[in-house]
Amino acid sequence: MKKLLSKTRAAADKYCMFGQNEKIAVGVSGGKDSLMLLRLMAAMREFHPSHFELTALSLDPCFGGAESDYSGVASLCQKIGVPLVIRRSRLGGIIFEERKESSPCSLCARMRRGILHNMALEEGCTRLALGHHMDDAAATFWMNLTSGSRIGSFSPVTYLDRKGIYLIRPMIFCRESEIRAAANRLNLPVMKSRCPADGCTQRTLAQDTIRRLEQQYPGLTERIITALQQGDISDWGTS
């Protein structure tokens, strides 16, 4: 975890992700990435000079009309001293039953983000931390290039002027393999995704493609990130 903590601190400082004495929300889906982000943010809270507070936010889409079990997440939050807010929603039913979306991910992501933004504001948070990592950034770059005909990725820090809140991604220097290994070592209470589209998305295809290309071009993911930084694409240059 020390290596991940160092990389997370480096990203947070490079892109000025934390404001002084602010309250930061952490989006916690229950997957390994969001749980590791929560642990890393809780650890940094103890020594980072910004002196921020944390609140964990979980949005339950209630896939199949059933509520998800967040008891493991709740126990972790209690252990590390972070309040947890869980909101149940009809998101799963709207996407897969009412609208019967053939390509549900984009709409679902937009709706999830909107609800999380509002939850963060309701809790008095000025920043929302998301668990995207380096592999996610590279996959987004690849999807934008091959499907969107544009060069770019998500930004390390995004200000939503209509909401008055910052989105931050502190794990962008961390590799997914590192996160998975650390989550296993720490025995984090990872929840299995109940999304009907899990594992069958364009993002999964992009990640698989990059993994195959890395066998021929080792370090491809890191090179994509370096190119984003050197070209100051999507605000990846020094903030």
pLDDT per residue, tens digit, the chain (239 aa), is 889 999 999 999 999 999 999 999 999 999 999 999 999 999 999 999 999 999 999 998 887 778 889 999 999 999 999 999 999 887 777 777 666 666 666 777 788 888 999 999 999 999 999 999 999 999 999 999 998 889 999 999 999 998 999 999 999 999 999 999 999 999 999 998 777 666 667 888 899 999 999 999 999 999 999 999 999 999 999 65
The per-residue pLDDT for 57 is: 97
Q: Which domain holds residue 89?
A: 2-235
Is there a contact between 172 and 51 (Cβ–Cβ < 8 Å)? no
Prediction pTM value = 0.91
The CATH number of the domain holding residue 92 is 3.40.50.620
The per-residue pLDDT for 152 is: 93
The per-residue pLDDT for 17 is: 96
Total number of domains constituting the chain: 1
The per-residue pLDDT for 145 is: 92
- pLDDT tens digits for range 31-68: 999 999 999 999 999 999 999 999 999 998 887 778 88
The per-residue pLDDT for 50 is: 92
Residue 94 makes CB contacts below 8 A (sequence gap 6+) with 111
Q: Edge-to-edge strands of the sheet including 84-88?
A: 84-88, 53-60, 23-27, 127-129, 165-168, 157-160
Q: Which of 5, 17, 22 lies closest to 178, judged by CA?
A: 5
What's the gap between Cα 95 and its chain centre? 21
Residue 103 makes CB contacts below 8 A (sequence gap 6+) with none
Is there a contact between 186 and 4 (Cβ–Cβ < 8 Å)? no
The per-residue pLDDT for 208 is: 92
For 197, the token pair is 């589209």
